[in-house]
């Protein structure tokens, strides 16, 4: 059977392949976007999980929009206005896919920063969107490029990860947030604000959501994969009711609804009195690992390599001297350290900055020290640096 034209365009995910090899004996993986399994708040979910057998109603079909009490929680927690709604999704990945299916016709224009989240590139690729890239700076997207793109091309959506961007770790400044919100309103572009890493800020000050400056022009995607547990597949999208309704309609086709027992367990977790303390612990662990990785890189990297410090999230973006980033990542894997080459984060045909995405949340500090040694040896060999 021939594949759809849309699917024929999608490249296989090199990350998935790397993640397979990264599981080999002795490999230290800085490749995935995995939270540390030892940090999962299982103890806080214990009572909720063990009480599931006493709640048979959770096992019946439910509403597509989500488990009622969880939707109520979101309304309060996110201070949603009366005319906004939530839709619980099978991970925030699904929210992104539903948005593309509800609003993006083939050739519709979608703006993204380059580099960008691979999963979003795949979703908009499958939707056959015309993806337009704007370059990213240390404090967010290049606003001159963004405005001329909005003005000249009239895109439908701007997909953005303003807090601890994947893969670069960039967090937008307050000024950029306000300006982007203004541009979205001015040019009638819908902001898709994806904030899976927002709660992982371990330094600096939390800044308002971009969408808080343009709530009627935005859809916000939140994930519980980084602060609860990804295996549960829980995410939520919020926005104007008139935009959530079509997402519900597509989700009805896609999977009827997400697992109700998982939604109930998530709600109990979010309401647990010790959940804020769990977040504090998580941030402290990730900060320690980030500081270790940053220190090791600073001490050992050869010239021509560079990274900007981050204040949260899961990644360091290491730019490299001119080199074949794929070959480098493969050589690193042979030297038992897994990393992701920058090419996978750009749409096809785009100019790629040679770089590596380094995850610091799923390896111990001891492992990070060894990983940097292995990586530096490979960079020196492959990039012909001193």
Q: Which residues within the stretch 269-308 sit at the binding site for a second copy (CB under 8 A)?
A: none
- Of 93 and 238, which CB lies nearer to a second copy in the complex structure? 93
**SS (HEC) of the chain:** CCCCHHHHCCCCCHHHHHHHHHCCCCCEECCCCCCCHHHCCHHHHHHHHHCHHHCHHHHCCCCCCCCHHHHHHHHHHCCCCCCEEEEEEECHHHHHHHHHHHHCCCCCEEEEEECCCHHHHHHHHHCCCEEEEEEEECCEECHHHHHHHHHHHCCCEEEECCCCCCCCCCCCCHHHHHHHHHHHHHHCCEEEEECCCHHHECCCCCCCCHHHHCHHHEEEEEECCCCCCHHHCEEEEEEEHHHHHHHHHHHHHHHCCCCHHHHHHHHHHHHCCCHHHHHHHHHHHHHHHHHHHHHHHHHHCCCCCECCCCCECCEEEEECCCCCHHHHHHHHHHCCEECEEHHHHCCCCCCCCCEEEEECCCCCHHHHHHHHHHHHHHHHHHCCCC
- Of 179 and 233, which CB lies nearer to a second copy in the complex structure? 233
- Could you say which of 137, 212, 261, 300 contacts a second copy (CB under 8 A)? 261
Say what angle helices 365-382 and 275-300 make with each other, to 10 degrees: 40
Can residue 133 be called a binding residue for a second copy (CB under 8 A)? no
Part in contact with a second copy (CB under 8 A); list of ranges 83-91, 194-202, 205-213, 331-339: 83-91
- Could you say which of 30, 40, 213, 293 contacts a second copy (CB under 8 A)? 40
Touching a second copy, residues 228-247 (CB under 8 A): 229-233, 243, 246
Part in contact with a second copy (CB under 8 A); list of ranges 45-53, 75-83, 284-292, 296-304: 45-53
Q: Is 313 exposed, middle or buried (0-12, 13-18, 19+ CB in 10 A)?
A: buried
- Could you say which of 17, 59, 81, 148 contacts a second copy (CB under 8 A)? 59
- Of 166 and 296, which CB lies nearer to a second copy in the complex structure? 166
Part in contact with a second copy (CB under 8 A); list of ranges 109-117, 207-215, 259-267, 368-376: 259-267
Say what angle helices 275-300 and 260-271 make with each other, to 10 degrees: 90
- x/- site string to a second copy, residues 353 to 382, per CB under 8 A? ------------------------------
- Of 38 and 273, which CB lies nearer to a second copy in the complex structure? 38
Part in contact with a second copy (CB under 8 A); list of ranges 57-65, 109-117, 301-309, 321-329: 57-65
- x/- site string to a second copy, residues 173 to 202, per CB under 8 A? -----------------x------------
Can residue 37 be called a binding residue for a second copy (CB under 8 A)? yes
- Of 44 and 294, which CB lies nearer to a second copy in the complex structure? 44
- Could you say which of 29, 136, 168, 259 contacts a second copy (CB under 8 A)? 259
- x/- site string to a second copy, residues 3 to 22, per CB under 8 A? xxxxx--x-xx--x------
Can residue 155 be called a binding residue for a second copy (CB under 8 A)? no
Touching a second copy, residues 96-125 (CB under 8 A): 97, 101-105, 119, 122-123
Least distance in angstroms from the C-beta of 244 to a second copy: 12
* Nearest of 321, 322, 324 to residue 305 by alpha carbon: 321
How many residues sit in the footprint of a second copy (CB under 8 A)? Answer: 71
- Could you say which of 75, 156, 330, 374 contacts a second copy (CB under 8 A)? 156
Least distance in angstroms from the C-beta of 160 to a second copy: 16
- Of 118 and 132, which CB lies nearer to a second copy in the complex structure? 118
* 120 strand-pairing partners: none
Can residue 315 be called a binding residue for a second copy (CB under 8 A)? no
């Amino acid at each position: 059977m021939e594949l759809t034209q849309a699917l024929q365009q999608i490249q296989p995910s090199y990350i998935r392949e790397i993640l397979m090899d990264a599981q080999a004996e002795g490999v230290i993986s800085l490749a995935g976007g995995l939270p540390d399994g030892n940090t999962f708040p299982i103890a806080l979910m214990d009572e909720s999980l063990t009480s599931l057998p006493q709640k048979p109603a959770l096992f019946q079909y439910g509403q597509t929009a989500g488990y009622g009490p969880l939707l109520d929680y979101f309304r309060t927690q996110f201070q949603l206005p009366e005319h906004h709604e939530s839709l619980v999704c099978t991970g925030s990945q699904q929210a992104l896919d539903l948005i593309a299916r509800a609003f993006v016709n083939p050739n519709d224009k979608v703006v993204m920063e380059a580099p960008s989240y691979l999963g979003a590139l795949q979703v908009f690729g499958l939707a056959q969107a015309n993806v337009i890239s704007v370059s990213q700076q240390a404090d967010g997207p290049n606003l001159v490029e963004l405005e001329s793109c909005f003005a000249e091309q009239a895109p439908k959506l701007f997909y953005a990860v303003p807090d601890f961007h994947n893969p670069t770790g960039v967090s937008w400044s307050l000024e950029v947030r306000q300006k982007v919100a203004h541009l979205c309103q001015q040019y009638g572009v819908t902001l898709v604000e994806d904030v899976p890493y927002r709660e992982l800020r371990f330094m600096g000050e939390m800044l308002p959501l971009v969408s808080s400056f343009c709530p009627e022009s935005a859809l916000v995607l939140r994930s519980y994969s980084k602060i609860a547990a990804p295996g549960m597949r829980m995410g939520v999208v919020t926005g104007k009711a008139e935009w959530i309704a079509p997402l519900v309609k597509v989700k009805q086709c896609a999977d009827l609804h997400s697992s109700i027992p998982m939604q109930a367990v998530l709600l109990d977790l979010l309401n647990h009195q010790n959940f804020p303390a769990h977040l504090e612990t998580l941030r402290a662990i990730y900060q320690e690992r980030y500081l270790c990785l940053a220190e090791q890189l600073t001490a050992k990297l050869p010239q021509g390599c560079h990274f900007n410090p981050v204040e949260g999230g899961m990644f360091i973006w290491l730019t490299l001297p001119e080199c074949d980033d794929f070959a480098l990542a493969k050589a690193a894997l042979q030297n038992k350290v897994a990393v992701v080459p920058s090419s996978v984060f750009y749409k096809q045909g785009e100019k790629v900055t040679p770089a590596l995405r380094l995850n610091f949340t799923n390896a111990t500090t001891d492992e990070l020290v060894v990983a940097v040694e292995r990586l530096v040896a490979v960079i020196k060999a492959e990039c012909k640096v001193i």
